[in-house]
Structure 1
Amino acid sequence: ARWFFGDGLPNGGLMAQREITNLLVNRPNPEMNPMTFISCTEENDQVEWMKDCEEIAPYCSESDDFKEEANEVLRDQGAALPYSQGFHLVGMLVAAMNPEDLDAMDESVPFTKTTLDNLLGIEHNEQSYRHYFTCFEEAQKKRSVIGASDQFKKAVKWNYDEFLRATTASQIPAVRDFQLRIRQIG
């Protein structure tokens, strides 16, 4: 695994951003070479490229300071997903190696019941999983639209029963389609 601590745009500007992203998207065996970006600045516009790269490169993660990351998780997953400093620390260390759960906390795809059970270490009944899923949907409705990807994320309607039954979100065709569309928008 590799960690990149950065405080802004690469020296080569937009061209360097594209080259870094291309390198990560096309690297051989990404699961054997996970990459984590650690944002070391309060200026989000300076590290937005890391967030964009994380969304399209496999086994790639980006992490902000705790407060920023907690806000992202709340915006993307909703109020029912507890997010702590412990989750934050573990995510900084190994999220890139765990794309189905730790790295997916700040993405706009709901967790399957099985993934949520494993992530939180408890087995949810259908009522508690429904609560999580409803909070996820409410968070998406409240999403601020800044760009095309936000508009798309806000408009997607997920099928509760698919997430209740599937082991991982990547097994759901609508999720794979969503991720492809996000890469195309990005």
Structure 2
Amino acid sequence: MDARGMTVKWVRGPLVVHLYRMGQEVEEVQAPAFQGRTTLLREDMAEGKVTLRIHQVQLSDTGWYTCYFQAGPLYNETSFHLHVAENRPTSQKRVKIIVPVSLVVFIGVLLVLGICFFYQRNLQRHRAQESQSGQSQEEDRETKVTSREPYTSPKDLQLLQELPTISPLEK
């Protein structure tokens, strides 16, 4: 049956979702929540198929819908429940992945910085200890050098005695 000449009214509860009468959409009675978001697909109306497309579907679009058909004395209706599930945009999915990855990277960077900080601090302590112990060792060496008597081994004495003596005048 050709639906092009019929009155077709889609409702959700008391709200008029879409009204088609005498070949034209009637936007004046359409509920504000659906204005600019519905399209009646006319391609299949000659075969009696009345398809309504809702654009920019929202969670609030969930509910019971009824479609009323009327052509003169002929009248019929059909109802169905539309359930809209939450579909997160890809950007929200990326955020869910990026946040944990960023958190792990951030913790890793903090860990590396902490290790570098402690290494640097320990290196400075070690150098300070070395310089302090180096100064005390140097002081010890100076003390030992100044307090030590010259020592010559018996072998060195023998070698010194065997060297020929040269007087400054013998040149």
Same fold judged by TM-score > 0.5? no
**Bigger fraction of residues in strand:** 2
**Bigger fraction of residues in helix:** 1
The interval holding the TM-score normalised by the smaller chain is under 0.3
Task: With the length of structure 2 as denominator, give the TM-score of the two structures.
Answer: 0.22
Task: With the length of structure 1 as denominator, give the TM-score of the two structures.
Answer: 0.21
Query: Higher RCO, 1 or 2 (CA under 8 Å, sep at least 6)?
Result: 1
